[in-house]
Amino acid sequence: MSFKGFRTGKSIKSEAEEPSEELSLLKDSLSNPGRRRSYESAEDGEIEEGGHSSFLPTTTSTHRRHQFKFKRPAKKSPTILILTCLIILSVTLIISLYLGLIPSFEAEHPSHQINWNRPPPRNRQWSNYYGLLRPKIGSKEWKMLYPPSKPAGPRPLESWIKRYDYLRSISSSNQLDSPLSTTWTNPQAKLSMQTGLAEYPEGTIFNSDPNGICSYRRASCLRGETEDRGIGLQDIWLGKNHTWSINFDDGPLPPSTSLYKFLDQQDETATHFWVGSNVRDYPELALQAWKRGDHLAVHTWSHAHLTTLSDFEILGELGWTIQIIHDLTGLVPLYYRPPYGDVDNRVRALAKHVFGLTTTLWNCDSSDWSLNQTFALGDFLDPPMNGFGVQESVGMINGHINQPDKSVGKIILEHELSFESVEAFKLTFPNLKQNSWSTCNLADCLDLPWYQ
C-alpha cells in the first residue's frame, strides 16, 4: 500500500515494503510530530524567526527526512580546481626563481660563445618583486644594473671570466696560433699622464714582428693578412673602391639628436661606435639610433686606454658595452674600435676570442675630437689643438674627399662628441656626393655582416 504527501506528490511505501530502518524512522516521526516538523523544515529551509514552520507537517516528512539525511554534497566546479592548481604552480615558480633553483643561462660550457640573453643581476627589492621584474629602461633602478663610468675596467660577469679561463687553459706561450697566447707574452702597459701614451717595459717590440705586440698607437702597426700569419686577428682599416664609410665614435650624446635628424634628411645610415656608459646615461638616444636602422658597434665602457688595463679589466670594458647594447636591442655587435687607437695583440686576442669582436681602425682623420670636449670621457683627455676650429676640421675632411684616387675606400675617424663635430660632418657631406663617393655605413661599405 502507498500514500502521497499533498505537497510533493511523491509516494511513500508501506511499512511492509520498507526496510526496518525506514520503519523505525516512520514510527518515530508519527509518534513525535515536533521532531518530524523540524526535520521537514530544516530540509526546506523554511524555519521562520521564532522556530515555527510556515507549513503544516505532512505524512511525507519521513521521506523528506530520508532525502535530507542521505543528500550528497554538490560537486566542486572544475574551474576552481584549475585556478587553485595554477596559483600553487605560480607561487612555486616565484619561489624557485627567487632562490635560484632554476638553472640560469650561465651554466653553459665556456667553450661555447657567450649567451648574452642572461640579463645582469638585479637588486632584490619589494618594488621590483624581489628581482623578478625588470626595471623600466632609463630609470634609476635600470641604470643600477650596470657599472659606473669610473673607474675604468669594471668587473666582468662570471660567464665572461669562465670563457677567458677556458681559452687561456688551452693556450700556450710557445704556440702563437693558440687563442690567448698573447696574454702570456704581451706585457700590460702603463698610462703616462704627461703624454697620454701607453708606456711598455724596455725592449718591447712595437711592430708586426713575430715577437712584436703590433701597437697601433706607438708604431702605427696594422695587422693585415700578411702580418696576421693566419692567426685570425686581422684589423679593418681600408674601405672598398669608391666607398666612404659614415661612422662616428663616442655616442650616444646630446649632439647625436642633430646628427640623427640630418641622417634622416639625407636618407643615410651610419655606424656608431658607442661608449657603453653613454648608452646607460642616454638610452633614449641609443634606441632612436637603433630604430632608425643604424649600425651599432663597441667603443668600450669608459673610453679607456685598453693596453694599460689588465685582462679582466679589458673584459669588463668590452663585455659591459656588448651587454647593454644587447639588452636594449637584442643584437650582439661584431666590431669594436679601441679608444685613441690604443690596441696591441693582447687586446686584439681578448676581443676576438672571448667576445667575437673584430678590431676596426681608420685610414683618414678629421681631428674633430679637438673642437669641443664638454662631453668627453676617458682616463686621459688629449688637450685641444690651438687655433683649430670647425672650419679647420672641414678643411681636413674635404682634403680626404677631394683626393682623385678613389681605388681605396675611406674609413674616416669622426665623432658625435660635440655639436661642432656634427656640424663639420654636415658641412662636408654635400662635397661627398659631388665627388662621386658611395656613402654607406661601415658594414655595408665592406659587404660584411652587421652583427654576430
Catalytic residues: 249, 415
Q: Are 364 and 411 in contact (CB under 8 A)?
A: yes
Looking up cell 702580418 gives 227
C-alpha cell at 180: 690567448
Q: 315, 291, 277, 329: which is closest to 117 by C-alpha?
A: 329
CA distance 429 to 289: 19
Q: Are 119 and 145 in contact (CB under 8 A)?
A: yes
The full length of the chain comes to: 452
Neighbours of 178 (CB within 10 A): 18
Q: Are 207 and 214 in contact (CB under 8 A)?
A: yes
Fill in the DSSP letter of residue 113: P
CA distance 232 to 356: 11
Q: Are 76 and 54 in contact (CB under 8 A)?
A: no
CA terminus-to-terminus distance, the chain: 93
Q: Which neighbouring-strand residues pair with 249?
A: 273, 415
Bridge pairing between strands 11-13 and 2-4: antiparallel
Bridge pairing between strands 364-365 and 410-413: parallel
CA distance 160 to 170: 16
Q: What is the CA radius of gyration of the chain?
A: 39
Q: Where are the beta strands (DSSP E) in 33-151?
A: none
CA distance 149 to 98: 29
Q: Are 187 and 315 in contact (CB under 8 A)?
A: no
Q: What does each C-alpha distance from 307 to 54, 340, 341 come to in angstroms?
A: 99, 11, 10
CA distance 425 to 32: 108
